[in-house]
Chains A and B, each alone.
Chain A
Amino acid sequence: MPSEEYLEGIYQIQGRDFVDAGIVSSEMKKKLKEKGIPESIIRKVAVVTFEAEVNIISYAEQGTIRYYVEPNSVTIEANDIGAGIEDLELAQQEGYSTADDSIREMGFGAGMGLANIKNHSDEFEISSVPHEGTYLRSTIYLNGK
């Protein structure tokens, strides 16, 4: 892929920083719009990023979200240092949540996050070590499935 078409970025996210939740999703969306990526793809990327951001803010001390655009896909990688997830299968079930009131007051914590990321992804991978952190990767194809 020619270098001028390559697009990537990385954002730092601070745990418990509820005021700024969603800012990475908004910023990333602006960048992808400038690149002329189809709107339906950008929406998926924005939703995945938003959910990943809220997860880091809610459950981690700090984390990063990295994204890169390749000729046929956009990939979002979320990495954090924090609580981690004890039971990955359970955490991906819709409605399962360990959110506290501060998360719910913000309008999140319904237990939809990981399931929603999965639903919007063409490729999805997650791994976690309890009390250490979580890694999540979502790839969205530019031409659909």
Chain B
Amino acid sequence: MTLEQIKDLLDAKVVVGDNKLDLEITTAFGADLMSDVLAFARSGCLLITGLSNPQAVRTAYALDIAAIIVCRGKALTDKFIEIAKELGIPILWTQFIMFEACGRLYREGLTGCIREVFVEDKQRAQ
């Protein structure tokens, strides 16, 4: 689905990236812990988070995450918006809690960027 559709489904405001609403997104990852985003999220996904500090934007940039939707109506600082503009990461803002945001997007066809984390795979990788 497009970022525009995501915006409509979540009754969201576009904070950064007005010109990128035609961006096509098929997968998502939801977390407040950037440690887990860095470990498990995949490039091109939508990041659904309640963390609205500069580290969330920088984490998204590191992983080539397509866009961020800030949930739970969290307040956004000028610094957060400034860094998102600088790094070219679209930011949407919704008052839905994370569970609602994820559920509404999943129902319309968005899927997880990975489905499960297998302990065996991680042990093999180490």
Contact = CB atoms under 8 A, between A and B. Distances in A.
Interface in B1-55: 32-36, 38-39, 43, 51, 53-55
Main secondary structure on A side of the interface with B: helix
Interface residues of A, number: 29
Interface of A: 19, 21-23, 25-26, 29, 39-40, 43, 46-47, 49-51, 92, 94, 106-113, 115-116, 118-119
B53 A25 contact: no
B58 A116 contact: no
B26 to A, nearest CB: 18
Interface stretch (B60-68, B95-103, B105-113): B60-68
B62 A107 contact: no
A78 B34 CA distance: 20
Contacts of B59: 22, 50, 107
B16 to A, nearest CB: 15
A110 B64 contact: no
Would you list the 8 A-B pairs with minimal beta carbon distance, nearest first? Answer: A22-B58, A110-B35, A46-B62, A107-B34, A112-B35, A116-B39, A107-B51, A112-B39
